[in-house]
Structure 1
Amino acid sequence: MSDRSIIDWPAWTDSPPGRYVLEWEQAQLDRVVSDVFGYHALQLGLPQLDTLRENRMPCRGLVLDAASGSSAPYSLPRGPMPGPVHSLPERHAPAGRSTVWCDLLDLPFEAQSVDLIVMPHTLEFTSDPHRLLREAERVLMPEGQLIILGFNSLSLWGARQSLGKVTGRPFVPAQHDLIAFTRLKDWIKLLGFDLERGRFGCYRPPLVSDQWLARYAFMEAAGDRWWPIFGASYMVTAIKRVRGMRLVGPLKVKKPVLAAGLAPAATPNTRNHSK
């Protein structure tokens, strides 16, 4: 496998390690997003992975980074997702979805207008991951969910990636250093998110052939039990909290209850009756 096939997403996802990682991530996403409800859901980047496949929200969109595009914010109507800013080949947008080309660091959506955002390895390809997370927090509604997938720097794959950066032969596609799971947790907590769950997977060594990856299939169960935090890939699910907000139901007015043994005082009769 050439260097280009390693660092280029479309080619890498067709390689044995790429298919191995995406298969695990797709299975995790299918289970998680099926239980997230609302009206608007967005996937930021990586069209090779259909993160919203099992989600049942009526308006689901794919947002892709572009050098140019409309940056004017627009609202998400109670209807189909807005049409694409630029035309896109059909293979990039699953049937029934809309695609938006824009600057991911300046999302063209109103504040608090999206119920679910999924970022599959998006942070590893942006020049400013902090700003991208702030944008996600801005457009998410209170109690909205954020799902992040990334490569784990504290893994065999992360070690090979670090060595590959030095030798000029990176193993996984990423424009910048991999983001450690612990660092990501700190970032999302600073933005007011509550971490709901974290999941690691892909415990086989960083190998480049299906044959060798298959030989180490036994490491999946062993890694999940004995060294779970050293999986090659992770998925983080967080919920946006708005401090001071309290959801209440309809106000019920209760009638005063008298203590046992007490009766209401008799109304005094102001008229004197004489015989």
Structure 2
Amino acid sequence: MKSNRSLLRFTSMYADIVDLREFYHSDLGRSAEQSIAEALASLWVRLPEERLVGLGYTVPFLDRFRANTERTFAFMPAGQGAVNWPMNALSSTALVFEEELPLPDASIDRVLMVHSLEFAESPRETLKELWRILAPGGRLVIVVPNRRGVWARMEHTPFGSGRPYSRSQLTHLLRETNFTPGAAAEALFFPPSKLRWAMRLGRRMEKVGRTLWPAFSGVIVVEAQKRLYQGLPVAVRASRRVFVPVLAPQGVPTTRDRGEPKA
């Protein structure tokens, strides 16, 4: 009974799409994006004609990497909500259930997860589904809140919600689901403060933190590859979710009504 209560607590804590957008348009959010993007770039190996999927809220980072891809999709969980992306172009966004992605087997070269795994109802089932859609040797890049970090303890950022992980927990989970963990990086060593002086110190603290206290980063970034020599058991699974269109009541502002936040 205790584990069921724990599961319900975590699954009800999805970060809302409006809150995510507002965070990444704030000064603190832009500093966090820069820090995470640098960590991603340190282990992001270019793949020719890459097919890339972002799962969760990955829009700020997909904008940086999609220029070198054959195609890029932004998959956003139903519990979170979705926004149109990219702006001023045909939409590449889909609202999805993480355990049943609308893609054929072995069709994607790389998956990027941000604001995703920590909210997953069943992390193992989600990773098994990603294993299914990844091509042989495909890469999975995960960004999750660090259980030891300060950011996971502060609820005024999206990293303070959901289920944080330690490096060993994430490595164990990946191996359980037939991924081989590889390169890793850390980000968000500066405090999640909105004070200007704290953010000005951010870049200096990032450099020092990677050297002196990497175990206490705000997020952990891990790349893993699809393991081929051991298959996953296949079981017929009926969907546990049914998507029902819900219209916003009259008078409630939508994302389009709000307009794009000013930079």
**TM-score of the alignment, normalized to the shorter chain, above 0.5:** yes
Q: Whole-Å Cα distance in 2 between the matches of residues 61 and 150 of structure 1? A: 20
| 2:33 partner SS | helix
C-alpha displacement at 1:101, in angstroms?
Answer: 2.2
Count of equivalent residues: 212
Q: Whole-Å Cα distance in 2 between the matches of residues 23 and 234 of structure 1? A: 15
AA paired with 2:191?
A: P
| 2:118 partner SS | helix
C-alpha displacement at 1:61, in angstroms?
Answer: 1.3
Q: Is the 8 A contact 2:147 2:165 kept in 1?
A: yes
Q: Find the partner of 1:155 among 149, 152, 161.
A: 149
C-alpha displacement at 1:89, in angstroms?
Answer: 5.8
Unaligned residue ranges in structure 2 (runs of 5+): 1-14, 232-263
Q: TM-score, normalised by structure 1?
A: 0.67
Q: Find the partner of 1:238 among 224, 231, 235.
A: 224
Corresponding residue of 1:15: 26
**2:169 equivalent to 1:202:** no
AA paired with 1:193?
A: F
Q: Whole-Å Cα distance in 2 between the matches of residues 52 and 115 of structure 1? A: 17
Q: CA RMSD in A?
A: 2.9
Q: Whole-Å Cα distance in 1 between the matches of residues 26 and 107 of structure 2? A: 37
Residue correspondence of structure 1 range 56-95 to structure 2 within 5 A: 56-66=68-78, 90-92=84-86, 95=89
C-alpha displacement at 1:177, in angstroms?
Answer: 2.6
| 1:130 partner SS | helix
| 1:26 partner SS | helix
C-alpha displacement at 1:32, in angstroms?
Answer: 4.2
Q: Whole-Å Cα distance in 2 between the matches of residues 24 and 234 of structure 1? A: 12
Q: TM-score, normalised by structure 2?
A: 0.70
Distance 1:8 1:242, change over 3 A: same
Q: Is the 8 A contact 1:47 1:92 kept in 2?
A: no
Residue deviations 1:136-182, cap 9 Å, x none?
Answer: 11111110000011221112223x33xxxxxxxx2332542312222
Corresponding residue of 2:132: 138
**2:184 equivalent to 1:172:** no
Q: Is the 8 A contact 1:203 1:230 kept in 2?
A: yes
Q: Whole-Å Cα distance in 2 between the matches of residues 108 and 134 of structure 1? A: 14
Distance 1:25 1:119, change over 3 A: same
Q: Find the partner of 1:108 among 102, 108, 111.
A: 102
Q: Whole-Å Cα distance in 1 between the matches of residues 189 and 216 of structure 2? A: 7
Q: Is the 8 A contact 1:33 1:52 kept in 2?
A: no
Q: Find the partner of 1:44 among 55, 63, 66.
A: 55
Unaligned residue ranges in structure 1 (runs of 5+): 68-87, 162-169, 246-275
Residue deviations 1:180-232, cap 9 Å, x none?
Answer: 22211110011221112110122112312232221454322221111112111
- Which has more helix, going by share of residues? 2
* Stretch moving more, 202-211 or 190-199: 202-211
AA paired with 2:216?
A: F
Q: Is the 8 A contact 2:40 2:185 kept in 1?
A: no
AA paired with 1:225?
A: T
AA paired with 1:236?
A: V
Q: Whole-Å Cα distance in 2 between the matches of residues 226 and 25 of structure 1? A: 18
Residue correspondence of structure 1 range 216-227 to structure 2 within 5 A: 217-227=203-213
Q: Is the 8 A contact 2:35 2:188 kept in 1?
A: yes
Corresponding residue of 1:249: none
Q: Whole-Å Cα distance in 2 between the matches of residues 225 and 31 of structure 1? A: 15
| 2:105 partner SS | coil
* Stretch moving more, 188-197 or 120-129: 120-129
